[in-house]
Structure 1
Amino acid sequence: MALTFDLFGTLVDIDYPIDPAEAVARELESRGVRVPDDWHVAYGEVHIDAPEGAEVPLPAHVAAALDSREVDVSDNAARHAVVAAFDPDVTRRDGALEAIRAADDRGPVGILSNCSVPELVPRTLIRSGLRGEFDAVTTSIGCGWRKPDSRAFEVAAEALGTTAADLTHVGDDPAVDGAIESAGGRFIDVTETSLTELPTRLEARR
């Protein structure tokens, strides 16, 4: 049985910036970038015409938002500002490691995470003590597609040597993570089956 876990809100909790636009603005200014007066408006606008279901990397969005206000910024400055703005404290949720290892006893295990911030997923795995526990790590910024788009599940399944129809996905959002069912797979909702209960549930399926 191949199984993927959502990361944020499922295996770990992190302290997101209360005001992401302001957090990014501070990091831009610290790098000598002029932040426009209506930055919060610009940050909230759509600047990149991406296909439905596609992920837009946050540094690309930030650079496009600045460009819309005639502010030039290098790709590196935008990336470094975003990475620094989203540099969270991480708390591993109770039962996470045990659930991962129970799943690993039954087949390949991966991460499938929506994340538009470079470096955030690997940094989170390190800080939570979960690095090295997975056979594959698939992120929306890496594969280009966000859950609930079926292509995100297909990429994650392929990384584990299976198909989306044979994949079980564990997450906390039925509207997003639960979309695995539309691809023929199985969804386990951690708001109904806790991580501490998951090993028993997986054992019952053997």
Structure 2
Amino acid sequence: MPYRAVLFDVGGPLDLEFAWESAVDGAIAMACGLEGIRVDETAIEEASEAAVAAFAADAYAHMVETLCGGDPRTIERVRQRVRAMVSNLEVFQLRPEIDGLLRRVRERGLALGIVANQPEAARARLDRAGIGGLFDHHGLSGVTGLRKPDPRAFLLAAQALGVAPADCIMVGDRIDNDVVPAKGLGMAAIQLRSGRHRRQRPRTPAEEPDAVVTDVPELEAAILDLLDRRQAG
């Protein structure tokens, strides 16, 4: 059977997240400063790298723990301040050329779905960016209640699109949240290295993605290669 659907994470593949990550980093630095903890750009970068290297489920929480030296009360106060600072933040940076790729994938007859740890408000952001209507399934954790790497989030997307998991290609920026659960269900997985998790690398052969890309032209080439290989096989 040919591949019949392509699933996308939002942060990274669709949303560059540069503005979001910068805003959160700034909020963490400010919140730490209010606790008397001096945090400069180097400290933030080192904390970010440590979170990624540790495969932390919540990179921001891990960063706060690192910067606060592990003190529970300080950590909680900093987390609360950071949440208050970014809770109503509205930033979305559409990845250049991704809208054209989505349309070309649809023209090939493939369904498009989203599997993302994003609030319900992300649907409106996608609509404002002009790509919300291109997706046949919007699997946002704020809607489904399922957060990656829970395999049920991926299974729900396949079921909603009327395809088998093995007939899906997953595109995401994280090994732990995207590649591993997708491959565990028999999906093909493409890692788009971008943003905070751009340096995340597989720890075992089982975590190796089927392709690694850094921009939309490379992503399109990888998708087409997977389609060709499945057809030839």
| Residue aligning to 1:10 | 13
Gap regions ≥5 residues in structure 1: 24-37, 46-61, 63-80
Moved over 6 A (4+): none
| Residue aligning to 1:30 | none
| Residue aligning to 1:198 | 219
The alpha carbon displacement at 1:43 in A equals 7.5
The alpha carbon displacement at 1:42 in A equals 5.7
Mapping of 1:1-206 within 5 angstroms?
1-14=4-17, 15-16=19-20, 17-18=23-24, 19=27, 41=76, 44=79, 85-104=87-106, 105-115=108-118, 117-119=119-121, 121-178=122-179, 179-191=181-193, 192-193=212-213, 194-204=215-225, 205-206=227-228
Residues 8-66 of structure 1 show CA distances to partners (whole Å, capped at 9, x for unaligned) of: 1111124334238x99xxxxxxxxxxxxxx79626749xxxxxxxxxxxxxxxx8xxxx
Task: Compare the two structures and name the one with the higher helix fraction.
Answer: 2
Q: In 1, are the aligned partners of 2:115 and 2:154 still within 8 Å (CA)?
A: yes
Q: In 1, are the aligned partners of 2:141 and 2:147 still within 8 Å (CA)?
A: yes
State the identity as a percent. Answer: 27
3-state secondary structure, aligned to 1:175: helix
Q: In 1, are the aligned partners of 2:12 and 2:192 still within 8 Å (CA)?
A: no
| Residue aligning to 1:29 | none
- 2:105 maps to a residue whose letter is A
Normalised to the residue count of structure 2, the TM-score between the two structures is 0.57
Distance 2:136 2:149 in 1: 22
Gap regions ≥5 residues in structure 2: 32-72, 194-211, 229-233
Normalised to the residue count of structure 1, the TM-score between the two structures is 0.64
- 1:123 maps to a residue whose letter is A
- 2:10 maps to a residue whose letter is L
Residues 8, 86 of structure 1: alpha-carbon distance in 2 compared, 3 angstrom cutoff: farther
Q: In 1, are the aligned partners of 2:120 and 2:140 still within 8 Å (CA)?
A: no
Distance 2:182 2:216 in 1: 19
- 2:96 maps to a residue whose letter is D
